[in-house]
Amino acid sequence: MELYSLTAHELLEQLRGKKISAEQLRSSVSQRIDDTDSKVKAYVRLSGSRQAQEQPKADSGALAGIPISLKDNLCTEGSSTECCSRILAGFKPPYDATVIRKLKEAGAIILETKTNMDEFAFGSSTENSCFGPTHNPWDLDRVPGGSSGGSAACVAADEAIMALGSDTGGSIRQPAAFCGVVGLKPTYGRVSRYGLIAFASSLDQIGPFTKDIRDSCLLMNVISGHDPMDATSVEREVPDYTQSLGKDIKGLKIGIPKEYFIEGLDPEVKNRVEEAIAKLKNLGAVIKDVSLPHTQYAVPVYYILGTAEASSNLARFDGLQYGFRAKSPKLIETYKKTRGEGFGQEAKRRILLGTFALSHGYYDAYYLKALKVRTLIKNDFDAVFKDCDCLVTPTAPTPAFKIGEKSQDPLQMYLSDIYTISANLAGVPAISVPCGFTRAGLPVGLQILAEPFGEETLFRLGHAYEQATDWHKMKPKL
Amino acid sequence: MTYEPVIGLEVHVQLKTKTKVFCGCSTEFGADPNTQVCPVCLGFPGALPVLNRLALEYAIKVGLALNCAVQGFTKFDRKHYYYPDLPKNFQISQYDLPISKDGFLDVEADGLNRAVKIRRVHLEEDAGKLIHETQDSLVDLNRTGQPLLEIVTEPDIFSPEEAYQYLTGLKSIIRYLQVSDCDMEKGSLRCDANISLRPQGCAELGVKSEIKNLNSFKAVRDALGYEIKRHNETLENKEKIIQETRLWDDKTGRTVSMRSKEEAKDYRYFPEPDLPPVVISKEKIAEIRASIPELPKDKKARFIKDYGLSEYDAAILVASKESADYAEERLKACPRNYKSIANWLIGPMVSTGASLSCEIYQINITPENFAELISLVEEKQVISNLTGKAVLEKMARTGKSASAIIKEDNLAQISDEESLDKEVDAVIQANPKVVAQVKAGKENSIMFLVGQVMKKTQGKANPKKVQEILKRRIV
């Protein structure tokens, strides 16, 4: 077995037992990137150094010696962080994101090269990247999902042991499902956002991509917790998430929201998810039909609130302090040309949508209304979690689609987040775990959702399912 | 037709917290450009604001001192506009739920006492500074993110003098609270004024102009006076007032149009998602209320009542908290002679302060020493008033007591007749003409003789005593 193909917990055991060195591991992963990334294109700016510029001591800390790949929107001091946007060309943050600092303290090796993404996380396919698309390791003609497509693909292709992404409306879970890996969006406030270049502040969360549930726990143990630099991070003790593993799920009440099994759901995906539910029932879980009645409003609410916040968060990219600048003798022209040339098409679309939603005379009808419906969606979850320990749904309505298939149809693209958006609006944690394949050999993801700070339930259920199946062990042929 | 001016003021006050309102950068004035900055106040991607709790407390304090209703639930909002002094291209401010609203400030002007209504007090972040040079404009972001309090009145001020007195009172209160220097020169207090005219007795407001570039309270008063005249003339000529922003020019004493009718600016306010709403408990508000010191209005009333001071004296003494505290310590040290203490504080102390170029309250004379000096002059008459003033200045310079200085410099008045007799005799003999005039009833001439005796004794003779002896001898 090549080292790059192992999980972090397997590697940690070998590292601690001195069976292998961190250097061996690093070069194994590096070799793998050299061998396969020309096909997958999970990483950006790969021509440069791919090593962390600063190597921590590999023999201490919870993730000592484990290489970790980062989405291109996570700030690392002194190394390029560009959100795969031309407007941030050459931007090297003067500081580390809080999660990066924590990873370094835990002995993890931070890869200098970062993973591909839709520009500013605007997209569901990683096609909206100024560096070009990433290819799904299971079928190179298909997208890896998005926006954290690079992080999902590199873990699936064994080009990384684990990776971090960000999830605003499904940007971790949907690509995790498309690429057959485990992807978690933590509870809003569980992980500090300090140093995550914001898309929509009230929805964004950083989360792990891993090869299995145990690795997800290990990564969450390191990155979770209150951060005085992020006022929206919650002061609440971080449990040892690995304690949730290996427990049975007898009597665990699982809700199946009927609004998630509707027209537009691919029959094969539906079958795999139903098989998974049957499996969970066999394992002793109690399956209940439930309803989240405002589900149908999640997509429109998300595209109002998300774009409104994005239009504001992206206002700072004006070419004055950092990144790309289109020079002009006039200030206003510098603004216009910089933003006109620096942003891609989808970024411009969302900035315009959001600007419109916040404009005088439209605010009440769009932004304020959406805010109210968001509360209703949250109330739906509060209500079902009175009765259920968790919910199980498909992660995405379809398996990975073809590159180019939806890129000309933004509305179709937006619908690929239909099952993931609600968790962000409600702030609840949700995870995608591999639950089988289509006949064409494309992975399908099972989404599990729990009440706020219910990550332990996600891990408990996910792990029990993982123990009873082999989906997570499947590897794409590259 | 007679027109009545209606004025509203918008004041920005920089709060003097040690660190900025949403990050840990220093707020020290006068540092090199762009040295007090960090990813947060520079608006770098990924950086997040965290509220400075002290700035919030200061804001609440000002709200309470201005008789506002402090809100139990408040939040921050983003106000969007593009400008190089605003690195995020939005300002974190407060829109529909300010920290405080519906207050008032008592103002005395034009012989009237009125409560000027205050609409709202809210907390926001300051922008940076632009320095325009011939070729380029330079940006200094040290000021970016400093805590700023916006205090907005209702259109409830009716004369330039009232505006002036409102600002004076506001500054005095905020300085009492010790939350801002309110120094217009340093920019820690800034003021914009709105003014319109309406026919006397009419309830509706006329078309307003907004005046900017007001660099002193006097400029506010003068600019408003100018605008009233300009509006009046325009209306008399049956012309239309244009809603516009005008800049005051101190040199020419006029306003000039900057931009006409705000080009329907849309700031696209929305709740700041990076800052959770702030809940302020009743207990917290009570705690902050309890920490508010006695404010100038109450202090003045108390000074009048407790120390029997005149309106005039009390008003001068309470002008700043420091001077009021200084005065009160000294009043308390000399309970027999409040009026004299007040006189000395308002008179000789001011000149001493001037000659030392410091404020009165910075003069290093203990209350005990101060009391002793006054008793030596006023009660015991050990030294004359004039000598007393000189002693006071020396006390301020050396920190020594009055009695020590009098002894060292041998300044004690000579009051016993035996010692004075000799000098008086000599003066009478040397000035027969003047003595004759006095005898002839020209009583004022005796002062000349007194002066001669004072000269001979190097000012130490007790002039009253000298006059007494002279009278007795001559008449």
Interface residue A367 vs chain B (CB under 8 A): yes
CB contact under 8 A, A367 and B50: no
Q: What angle do CA A165, A171, A172 make, to 5 degrees?
A: 50
Helix (H) or strand (E) holding A100: helix A98-105
The pLDDT of residue A286 is above 80: yes
| Confidence grade of residue B335 (pLDDT, cut at 50, 70, 90) | confident
Give me the residues paired with residue B77 across strands.
Answer: B93, B271
Decide: A108 and A142 in contact? Cβ < 8 Å: no
Contacts of A228 in chain B (CB under 8 A): 50
pLDDT of residue B262: 58
CB contact under 8 A, A194 and B89: no
Report percent pLDDT > 70 for chain B: 99
According to DSSP, the β-strands at A390-394 and A253-257 are parallel
C-alpha distances out from residue B304 to A223, B283, B307, B327, B342, Å: 64, 33, 6, 13, 11
- Burial (CB count <10 Å: 0-12, 13-18, 19+), residue B215: middle
- Nearest CB neighbour to A94, from listed B39, B89, B276: B39
The pLDDT of residue A52 is above 80: no
Contacts of B136 in chain A (CB under 8 A): none
Contacts of A321 in chain B (CB under 8 A): 42-44, 87
- Shortest CA distance from B85: residue in chain A: A320
| Confidence grade of residue A6 (pLDDT, cut at 50, 70, 90) | very high
Q: What is the pLDDT of residues B83-122, one digit of tens each?
A: 999 999 999 999 999 999 999 999 999 899 999 999 999 9
Q: Please tell me the least confidently modeled range out of A211-225, B243-257, B391-405.
A: B391-405
Enumerate the H helices of B107-245 as residue ranges. Answer: 160-177, 217-236
A359-398: string of b/e by CB count within 10 Å (b at 16+)? eeeebeebbebbbebbeebbebbeebbeebbbbbbbbbbb
Calculate mean pLDDT across residues A453-465: 98
CB contact under 8 A, A321 and B49: no
What the block records as the tokens of A444 is 């399908």
Enumerate the H helices of B238-384 as residue ranges. Answer: 282-290, 296-307, 311-317, 321-333, 338-346, 348-355, 367-374
pLDDT of residue B119: 98
Q: What is the pLDDT of residues B198-207, one digit of tens each?
A: 999 899 999 9
CB contact under 8 A, A315 and B45: no
pLDDT of residue A238: 97
Which residues touch B435 (CB under 8 Å, ≥6 apart)?
A: B428, B449, B474
Decide: A163 and A134 in contact? Cβ < 8 Å: no
- Shortest CA distance from B87: residue in chain A: A316
The pLDDT of residue B140 is above 90: yes
What the block records as the tokens of A70 is 């980062």
C-alpha distances out from residue B412 to A105, A240, B402, Å: 77, 85, 11
Q: What is the pLDDT of residues B208-238, one digit of tens each?
A: 999 999 999 999 999 999 999 999 999 999 9
3-class SS of residue A83: coil
The pLDDT of residue A445 is above 70: yes
Contacts of B42 in chain A (CB under 8 A): 321
What the block records as the tokens of A74 is 């996570």
Give me the residues paired with residue B138 across strands.
Answer: B131
Interface residue A458 vs chain B (CB under 8 A): no
Concerning whether A171 is annotated as a catalytic residue, the answer is yes
Contacts of B127 in chain A (CB under 8 A): none
Q: Which of A117, A229, A368 to mutate to test the interface with B (most CBs of B within 10 A)?
A: A229
The pLDDT of residue B376 is above 80: yes
pLDDT of residue A460: 98
pLDDT of residue A72: 98
| Confidence grade of residue B426 (pLDDT, cut at 50, 70, 90) | confident
CB contact under 8 A, B50 and A230: yes
pLDDT of residue A51: 55
Interface residue A95 vs chain B (CB under 8 A): yes
pLDDT of residue B221: 97
Calculate mean pLDDT across residues A330-340: 95
Alpha carbons A325 and A331: distance in angstroms, whole number: 11
What the block records as the tokens of A346 is 């989808």
Q: What is the pLDDT of residues B30-82, one digit of tens each?
A: 899 999 999 999 999 999 999 999 999 999 999 999 999 999 999 999 999 99
Alpha carbons B321 and B301: distance in angstroms, whole number: 14
Q: Please tell me the least confidently modeled range out of A107-111, A167-171, A179-183, A375-379.
A: A107-111
- Shortest CA distance from A203: residue in chain B: B273
- Shortest CA distance from A75: residue in chain B: B46
Alpha carbons A81 and A111: distance in angstroms, whole number: 12
Alpha carbons A313 and B272: distance in angstroms, whole number: 10
Residue B248 phi/psi, 5° resolution?
Answer: -85, 140
State the nearest Cα–Cα gap between B64 and chain A, in angstroms.
26
Alpha carbons B245 and A172: distance in angstroms, whole number: 50
| Confidence grade of residue A315 (pLDDT, cut at 50, 70, 90) | very high
The pLDDT of residue A328 is above 70: yes
- Nearest CB neighbour to A197, from listed B46, B51, B275: B46
Q: Which of A171, A216, A224, A244 is catalytic?
A: A171
- Shortest CA distance from A99: residue in chain B: B46
| Confidence grade of residue B446 (pLDDT, cut at 50, 70, 90) | confident
The pLDDT of residue B384 is above 90: no
Alpha carbons A111 and A106: distance in angstroms, whole number: 15
| Confidence grade of residue A59 (pLDDT, cut at 50, 70, 90) | low
Concerning whether A71 is annotated as a catalytic residue, the answer is yes
State the nearest Cα–Cα gap between A386 and chain B, in angstroms.
26
What the block records as the tokens of A379 is 């109330």
Q: Which of A28, A41, A69, A71 is catalytic?
A: A71
pLDDT of residue B438: 84
Interface residue B80 vs chain A (CB under 8 A): yes
CB contact under 8 A, B276 and A93: no
ipTM associated with this complex: 0.96
* Peptide bond preceding A147 in cis form (omega within 30 of 0): yes
What the block records as the tokens of A147 is 């926006």
The pLDDT of residue A98 is above 70: yes
State the nearest Cα–Cα gap between A165 and chain B, in angstroms.
14
Calculate mean pLDDT across residues A49-60: 56
Alpha carbons A83 and A126: distance in angstroms, whole number: 11
pLDDT of residue A55: 58
Locus of tokens 């000399």:
B334
Residue A35 phi/psi, 5° resolution?
Answer: -75, -35
Calculate mean pLDDT across residues A267-287: 98
Alpha carbons B63 and A478: distance in angstroms, whole number: 67
Q: What is the pLDDT of residues B394-422, one digit of tens each?
A: 999 998 998 888 888 877 777 777 778 88
Question: Considering chain A, what is the average pLDDT of its residues?
Answer: 95
Alpha carbons A295 and A187: distance in angstroms, whole number: 19
Interface residue B265 vs chain A (CB under 8 A): no
Interface of B with A in 309-338 (CB under 8 A): none
Contacts of A360 in chain B (CB under 8 A): 266, 268
pLDDT of residue B264: 61
Q: What is the pLDDT of residues B165-197, one digit of tens each?
A: 999 999 999 999 999 999 998 899 999 999 999
- Nearest CB neighbour to B90, from listed A193, A312, A320: A312
Alpha carbons A63 and A61: distance in angstroms, whole number: 6
- Nearest CB neighbour to A194, from listed B43, B46, B266: B46
Cα dihedral: A289, A292, A297, A301 (round 10): -130
The pLDDT of residue B465 is above 70: yes
Contacts of A331 in chain B (CB under 8 A): 84
Alpha carbons A194 and A185: distance in angstroms, whole number: 16
Interface residue A228 vs chain B (CB under 8 A): yes
pLDDT of residue A50: 57
pLDDT of residue A48: 55
Interface residue A363 vs chain B (CB under 8 A): yes
3-class SS of residue A82: coil
Interface residue A340 vs chain B (CB under 8 A): no
- Shortest CA distance from B42: residue in chain A: A321
Q: What is the pLDDT of residues A354-409, one digit of tens each?
A: 999 999 999 999 999 999 999 999 999 999 999 999 999 999 999 999 999 998 88
Report percent pLDDT > 90 for chain A: 93
- Shortest CA distance from A94: residue in chain B: B39
